[in-house]
Structure formats: structure tokens, C-alpha cells
Amino acid sequence: MGVQPGGFRFRLCEECVWLSAMPERLRSPATARNRQPILTVLQRVLPSNARVLELASGAGEHAAYFAAAMPGVTWQPSDPDADARASIAAWIGADAVANVRPPLNIDVRAGLWGVEEQPPFDALVAINMIHISPWEATLGLVRGAGRLLRPGGLLFTYGPYKRDGRHTTPSNESFDASLRARDPSWGVRDVADVTRAAEHSAMQLREIVEMPANNLSLVFEKRRLVE
């Protein structure tokens, strides 16, 4: 994949390989391992007819897999990288999933994402984005959630996190060091820091779900209007 605007990637290109049968389709080995556990959480927390905006969709495998498993959900993928968007479109076509929209070019750090005129979304999803991007991307993500979600809508994030200032496992600590060696602006974030940032955008942490391979799913909810 190419380098994103501002010099960072939302995905490590080493994690993606080309599919020989359809060259524009990218595949991440991690997706095959994490997609079912993530789907299990999404099926529990999302409305059956949810409108979902996914940020930093990467190769598009998650979008195609989740949409096929949740046919009542409308899934809107996005990525700032042109190669990623081509891969997303290829996965949509190969899997013939009718409830996935064409991918959008969204950089979460931007003040506007080009979807503000649409009805509010039921959920925003960001998988393995927060640790492979600058902190400014996380701030943009939570601001976007506060701006684009309906009251009671959800922000779902997945990846490795620190808790109370400490890594949850030595392997996560080593992974964090390797990320920061690649780019000092990347790194495993603390749940408390993400939660504080989200609270500034009317988002509250509703649930922390322990996931395989020392990852966490964080489910934030946009505060409902007081009647």
C-alpha cells in the first residue's frame, strides 16, 4: 500500500499479500484470525439493520465478511489509501455482497469526512487503526463519532491496548516498541487516554471485551439526549 497523507499508514503493508487470482485484492493474515471473534461482538452490540461506517478499512476483508454475516446491516467502508480502496472494491465484487457501499476516501484527521449530509450512523468501526497511526488520528476518530453518530450510537474499536499505564502482556510491550521504532508517532494506546478523548466528544465507554491474542474491543456509546 502507498503512504497516507502526512506520512503514515493505517495498515502495515508487510501484513498484506497479493491474491494471485485477482491482483487488486489484498489479504491480511491477521484478518483470518480475528474476524470471527470481532463479528461475535458486533452481532451482539449492533442493531440488526444498523448503518455502519468503517474507518481505515484496509484490505476490505472485514467489510466483506461482516456484511455477508449480517445481511440487514449497511456497511460503508473507507480508507485514505487508493490501493486499499481498490482492494475493498475487489473484495466486494468477488464476494458479491450487496449491502456494502463503494469505499470512500476518508482521512479521520480531517475536519469533515464528506458524509456529514447523510443521516446519522448507528455505529463507527475502527479495527487495528489506533495503534498504527498518530494520536491525532484517534482524536479525529472520536470527534467524528461525536459528530456523525445518532444519540445512543456506538463507536467500536479493536486492537492492543495498555490498561492503567501498563501493557497487558510482555508481547504487547515488545509489539509497542517495534511500532515506535517504525514510526515514533505510532504505539499501543492506553484505554484511559482513549476514553478521556472520547468523553470530550460526548462518548462514554460502555464495555471492554477481552479478545484473543491479547487484544481488546472497546465499545463507546454516544450520550443520549436528555428528554
- Write out pLDDT tens, residues 90-116: 999 999 999 999 999 999 999 999 999
Do the beta carbons of residue 132 and residue 161 sit within 8 Å? no
> CA-CA distance, 125 to 77, in Å (whole number)?
9
Confidence of residue 1 (pLDDT cuts 50, 70, 90): very low
- The domain 13-222 belongs to what CATH superfamily? Vaccinia Virus protein VP39 (3.40.50.150)
d(CA 187, CA 80): 20
Whole-number pLDDT of residue 24: 84
Q: Which backbone phi and psi does 20 adopt, to 5 degrees?
A: -65, -30
pLDDT of 7 above 50: no
CB-based contacts of 76, cutoff 8 Å, min separation 6 = 51, 52, 53, 54, 100, 101, 104, 115, 121
Q: pLDDT of 144-166, one tens digit each?
A: 999 999 999 999 999 999 999 99
Looking at residue 28, its pLDDT comes to: 86
**Taking the domains of the chain in order of start, what are their residue ranges?**
13-222
Tell me which of 14 and 141 has the higher pLDDT: 141
Q: Cα dist. 126→166, 174, 217 in Å?
A: 22, 23, 10
The pTM (predicted TM-score) of the whole model is: 0.90
Q: Is the pLDDT of residue 15 over 90?
A: no
